[in-house]
Amino acid sequence: MADTVSSADAPAVFGAKGYPAALEWIARRAEAFVIPLAALIVGMVLFSLFIALVGKSPVQLYETMWRGGFGSWFSIQNSLSRGAPLLLAALCVALPARLGLVVIGGEGAIVLGGVAAAATGVALSGAASFIVILAMGVAGMAAGGIWIGAVGALRHYRAVNETISSLLMAYIAIALMNHLVEGPLRDPASLNKPSTQPLADAYRIGNIPGMEVHWGLVVGIVACILSWLLIEKTRWGFAARIAGGNVRAAQVQGLAVGPLIVGFTALAGGFAGLAGMLEVGAVQGSANASLAAGYGYTGILVAFLARHNPLAIIPVAILLGGINASGGLIQRRMDLPDATVLVLQGMLFIVILFSETFYGRFKAFNPDLWKKGA
Amino acid sequence: MEATEIGLWGVPLAILGGAIRVSTPFIFVSLGEAITERSGRINLGLEGTLVFGAMTAYAMAVMTGSPWLGLMAAATAGLCFGLFHGWICKFPGVNDIAIGIALMLLGSGLAFFFGKPFIQPSAPDLPAIPFGGWSDIPQVQAALNVNVLFLIGAALAVFLWWAFRNTRAGLILRVVGDSSDAARAMGLDPNMVRLIATGVGGALAGIGGGYLSLYYPGSWTERISSGQGLMAVALVIFARWNPLGCFAAALLFGGAGALGPALQSVGITQGYYLFYAAPYILTLIIMIATSSPGRSLAGAPGELSITK
């Protein structure tokens, strides 16, 4: 499992004889761009074949997809809004992945983070809006962090498989949300769609000035950058990468693997919980069943496409946000089911995973092989 | 409701009936997954296979009027998904768990894509055998109205339990699952054995999906499966890769799933959603109780990544 999540290329320290060091530097890094990009293209070609087989025009489909996702300022803003929660949901997969864990239950943390934030916002009504929004964020992060942190703790201290347990926890979280939203926390005024009491307008999260995109996008991008710094530039990130490569080696080196796993999974869940809080604070205005909109599952795809690199998550999340945003237009214009987008995502996912087998196989990306003159 | 006539006795009776009804897809998916995992691979994509199988079975039954043809179509579709998983996982660097997650997404996506026109029409049901004819109480009759697939699943569990120990194929499967090197030394091709094992596992999961749409709940909707395919994977671990254990665990899970509706039928509606979560909570508790750090699980196939 570890080999799929560790980044392979070591920094080039000295130039090879006969080749400029810069060329070598580029070659070593090109692999991480060229292979995913090629996989993305292959996935889209396969999807074109699928669309052609069901008797529709792939050209028209991609054109519609472009128009729905990125063709106008309106659709770009729509894509960015949909990409915002994906940034945080993808971090919930990417951070544990650096430790070699496959956590796929981010949906549960999103849902509970949203409920916790909504309950906090209602409980503190009357306080200054800055304090309430901050408290909502903390509550959302805490709920999500405890949920996924528990998955990490079970993994390390009880050897419970994290992939299955996180998904089971997601189903439990959704049931818990339904229970709370239809029972103890229900707003009696919400008849058709059981919800918590609506947040006062002062506690709603607004839009970025000049855009129809809420502040969640900025929060998500900042979270991605911070996560990248954490993994690449701090000693905890360094320790996590070692543990992700080989747990035994990390333990021999005296690294506290347990706290590391619990800390990383809790932070990952905290980010997903924050996504839930933003959905409540900026989009829904209260916690209800719409929180389980599948962002947690699309986030898995985003993280794998980005190869668990937090900086790469930013463009990939916005791309997937655009693909999701175009789903409605594809349905209306081309008379295709809304699941078309899901099929595309599934195909991209499989091609990306398949592309893992090509890393380290091409001579062009490996200057060490040039020197041998083979 | 007539449930009040027999009072609270209706609860265990409804749970028994529910256990038989709800457990059948669990039985098929977990037996399929047991074969796959015995070969040393894990296929998390059975959740997607289950949904796609449900759609295929329903669509075929609507078009041909025969639920059995529907079931065969579901098994064939499941076989294709399984073979695809088995084929793609043989490449180095391709992670079987991650491919499973992707197939979960793709299977559901394809099922929703092709299943859209079949949400409205109704398909013929699979037949059930009324074992409760001796009783006048409708609840007893309802509980003992057993579908033939449940009986086939029970027989299959016994057969696999026997076959794993006593047949050449069973031995080959276990050798490959325990050590690829030992298998190669015996002249076996581990990838080929795993391909077949994953294909058979997929076909069984497809049949489980067919049961969902053709008997209980008995219609095709996009919410037909709520993690049954995944719980079945956890269930196989709990059952220690033993087919008879899978059957017993599936009954237990079916009973847990029937708890909420059973209590509701006697008027207990408080915390309905929490009872709905009972199978998931039960699965989690069992996983926690049966896992242990420091030692591998008893009976676990040595090549299985999930127990490493």
How high is the ipTM of this complex? 0.90
| pLDDT of the residue at B5 | 59
- Domain coordinates in residue numbering, chain A: 2-7+19-371
pLDDT tens sequence across A1-22: 344 444 444 444 455 456 788 8
Going by pLDDT thresholds of 50, 70 and 90, the confidence category of residue B6 is low
| pLDDT of the residue at A6 | 43
* Mean per-residue pLDDT of chain B: 88
Q: Chain B 272-291, CB below 8 Å of chain A: which residues?
A: 272-274, 276-277, 280-281, 283-284, 287-288, 291
Between the alpha carbon of residue A177 and those of residues A24, A161, A270, B173, B291, the distances in Å are 53, 24, 17, 43, 28
Residue-by-residue pLDDT tens, chain A, 374 positions: 344 444 444 444 455 456 788 888 888 888 888 998 999 999 999 999 999 999 999 999 999 999 999 999 999 999 999 999 999 999 999 999 999 999 999 999 999 999 999 999 999 988 899 999 999 999 999 999 999 999 999 999 998 989 989 989 999 999 999 999 988 888 888 888 889 999 999 899 989 998 999 999 999 999 999 999 999 999 999 999 999 888 888 888 888 899 999 999 999 999 999 999 999 999 999 999 999 988 998 999 999 989 999 999 999 999 999 999 998 899 999 999 989 999 999 999 999 999 999 988 888 888 877 776 54
Q: Render the burial of A66-83: b for 16+ CB within 10 Å, e for the rest.
A: eebbbbeeebbbbbbbbb
Residue B66 touches chain A, beta carbons under 8 Å: no
- Domain coordinates in residue numbering, chain B: 2-126+157-288
Contact B226 A104 (CB under 8 A): no
The topology (CATH level 3) of A2-7+19-371 is ABC transporter involved in vitamin B12 uptake, BtuC (1.10.3470)
Identity of the highest mean pLDDT range in B71-75, B97-101, B252-256:
B71-75
CA distance A153 to chain B (A): 11
Between the alpha carbon of residue A131 and those of residues A124, A206, A234, the distances in Å are 9, 15, 30
Residue B131 touches chain A, beta carbons under 8 Å: no
Please list the alpha-helical segments (H only) found in chain A. 2-5, 21-53, 58-69, 73-98, 106-123, 129-158, 162-182, 216-233, 235-245, 247-252, 257-278, 295-305, 310-325, 327-334, 340-355, 367-371
| pLDDT of the residue at B302 | 83
A125 or B35, which is more confident: B35
Q: Give me the architecture of the B2-126+157-288 domain, per CATH.
A: Orthogonal Bundle (1.10)
| pLDDT of the residue at B123 | 86
Lowest mean pLDDT among A127-136, B25-34, B235-244: B235-244
| Residue for token pair 């708890």 | B259
Q: Is A97 helix (H, G, I), strand (E, B) or coil?
A: helix
The model's pTM is: 0.90
CB-CB neighbours of A155 under 10 Å = 26
Contact B105 A104 (CB under 8 A): no
pLDDT tens sequence across B196-210: 999 999 999 999 999
With CA atoms as reference, report the closest residue to B159 among B304, B34, B66.
Answer: B34
